[in-house]
Chains A and B, each alone.
Chain A
Amino acid sequence: MGIYLPIAEMSVNMVVLLAMGAAVGFLSGMFGVGGGFLVTPLLIFYNIPPAIAVATGANQVIASSFSGALAHFKRGTLDMKLGGVLLTGGVVGSSIGIYVFAYLRSLGQLDLIVSLLYVAFLGAVGGLMLVESVRAIRRARGGQAATLRRPGQHNWIHRLPLKMRFRASKIFVSVIPVLGLGAIIGFLASIMGVGGGFIMVPALIYLLKVPTNVVIGTSLFQIIFVAAFTTVVHSTANQTVDVVLAFLLMVGGVAGAQYGARVGQKLRGEQLRALLAVLVLAVALRLAFDLFVRPASVYSLATGAV
Chain B
Amino acid sequence: MLLPRALLLLLVTALAGKAHAQETVDEGIQIGLSTDRVSITADFAGANLTIFGALDNVDPLISRQGRYDVVVVLEGPPRTVVVRKKTRVLGMWINTQSVVFRDVPASYSVAMTRQPQDITTDANYRRLALRTENVHLRPLDPEENASTLAEFTDALRARKEARGLYVEYAGGVQFLSRTLFRATLRLAPNVPVGTHRARAFLFRNGVFVEETSAALTIRKAGLEQRIFEYAHEESFLYGLAAVFVAIVTGWLGRMVFRKE
Of all chain B residues, which has the CB nearest A225?
Answer: B243
Known: A297-B162, A299-B155. 16 other contacts (CB 8 A): A6-B224, A6-B231, A63-B246, A65-B250, A71-B254, A108-B95, A109-B95, A232-B236, A241-B238, A246-B242, A247-B245, A250-B245, A254-B249, A292-B92, A295-B86, A300-B95
Q: Is A257 an interface residue (CB 8 A)?
A: yes
Q: A6-B227, A300-B86 are in contact. Are A236 and B190 (CB under 8 A)?
A: no
**Quick check: B82 and A305 within 8 Å, CB to CB?**
yes
| 24 chain-A/chain-B pairs, Cβ below 8 angstroms | A2-B44, A2-B189, A4-B220, A7-B228, A9-B192, A9-B193, A62-B247, A67-B251, A109-B95, A112-B94, A224-B247, A233-B239, A236-B235, A236-B236, A237-B235, A241-B231, A246-B246, A247-B249, A250-B249, A254-B252, A299-B84, A302-B82, A303-B79, A306-B80
Q: A71-B254, A300-B159 are in contact. Are A66 and B238 (CB under 8 A)?
A: no
Report which of B42, B93, B245, B257 forms a contact with A295, defined as CB distance below 8 A.
B93
Q: How far is the CA of A65 from the CA of B156 in the complex (A)?
A: 42
**Quick check: A3 and B42 within 8 Å, CB to CB?**
yes
Q: A6-B231, A232-B236 are in contact. Are A304 and B79 (CB under 8 A)?
A: yes
Of all chain A residues, which has the CB nearest B246?
Answer: A62
Report which of A6, A236, A297, A299 forms a contact with B228, defined as CB distance below 8 A.
A6
Q: How far is the CA of A11 from the CA of B225 in the complex (A)?
A: 14
- Chain B residues with CB under 8 A of A9: 190, 192-193
Q: Is A239 an interface residue (CB 8 A)?
A: yes
- Chain A residues with CB under 8 A of B73: none
Give chain B nearest CB distance to A22 CB in angstroms.
12
Of all chain B residues, which has the CB nearest A299?
Answer: B155
Give chain B nearest CB distance to A168 CB in angstroms.
22
0 or 1 for each of B35-51: is its CB under 8 Å from A? (1 = yes)? 00000111111100000
Q: How far is the CA of A292 from the CA of B253 in the complex (A)?
A: 40
Q: How far is the CA of A226 from the CA of B249 in the complex (A)?
A: 18
B5-46 interface with A by 8 A CB criterion: 40-46
Q: How far is the CA of A190 from the CA of B202 in the complex (A)?
A: 54
**Quick check: B246 and A2 within 8 Å, CB to CB?**
no
**Quick check: A231 and B45 within 8 Å, CB to CB?**
no
Q: A109-B95, A291-B93, A298-B93 are in contact. Are A243 and B241 (CB under 8 A)?
A: yes
**Quick check: B253 and A254 within 8 Å, CB to CB?**
yes
Q: How far is the CA of A250 from the CA of B98 in the complex (A)?
A: 37
**Quick check: B242 and A4 within 8 Å, CB to CB?**
no
Q: How far is the CA of A291 from the CA of B93 in the complex (A)?
A: 6
- Report whether over half of chain A's contact residues are helix, strand or loop; otherwise say mixed: helix
Of all chain A residues, which has the CB nearest B91?
Answer: A292
- B contact residues vs A (CB 8 Å cutoff): 40-46, 79-88, 91-95, 98, 100, 106, 140, 152, 155-156, 158-160, 162, 189-190, 192-193, 220, 223-225, 227-228, 231-232, 235-236, 238-243, 245-247, 249-254, 257
Q: A299-B84, A300-B95 are in contact. Are A235 and B238 (CB under 8 A)?
A: yes
Q: Is A244 an interface residue (CB 8 A)?
A: yes
**Quick check: B253 and A11 within 8 Å, CB to CB?**
no
**Quick check: B190 and A301 within 8 Å, CB to CB?**
no
Q: Is A95 an interface residue (CB 8 A)?
A: no
**Quick check: B95 and A10 within 8 Å, CB to CB?**
no
- Chain B residues with CB under 8 A of A233: 239
Q: How far is the CA of A112 from the CA of B92 in the complex (A)?
A: 9
- Chain B residues with CB under 8 A of A303: 79-82, 106
- Chain A residues with CB under 8 A of B252: 254
Q: How many of A's residues come within 8 Å of B, CB to CB? A: 59
Q: How far is the CA of A90 from the CA of B156 in the complex (A)?
A: 41
Q: A3-B43, A4-B40 are in contact. Are A108 and B98 (CB under 8 A)?
A: yes
Report which of A62, A234, A301 forms a contact with B83, defined as CB distance below 8 A.
A301
Q: Is A77 an interface residue (CB 8 A)?
A: no
Q: How far is the CA of A301 from the CA of B79 in the complex (A)?
A: 12
Q: How far is the CA of A3 from the CA of B41 in the complex (A)?
A: 8
- Chain A residues with CB under 8 A of B162: 297
Q: How far is the CA of A301 from the CA of B250 in the complex (A)?
A: 36
**Quick check: A254 and B250 within 8 Å, CB to CB?**
yes
The residue in B87, B190, B235, B247 that gathers the most chain A C-beta atoms within 10 A of its C-beta is B235
Q: Is A294 an interface residue (CB 8 A)?
A: yes
Q: How far is the CA of A41 from the CA of B67 in the complex (A)?
A: 55
Of all chain B residues, which has the CB nearest A302?
Answer: B82
Q: Is A59 an interface residue (CB 8 A)?
A: yes
0 or 1 for each of A248-290: is its CB under 8 Å from B? (1 = yes)? 0011001101100000000000000000000000000000000
Q: How far is the CA of A81 from the CA of B96 in the complex (A)?
A: 46
**Quick check: A6 and B220 within 8 Å, CB to CB?**
yes
- Chain B residues with CB under 8 A of A243: 227, 238, 241-242, 245
Q: Is A15 an interface residue (CB 8 A)?
A: no
Give chain A nearest CB distance to B17 CB in angstroms.
54
The residue in A250, A258, A299 that gathers the most chain B C-beta atoms within 10 A of its C-beta is A299
Q: How far is the CA of A301 from the CA of B86 in the complex (A)?
A: 11
Give chain B nearest CB distance to A82 CB in angstroms.
21
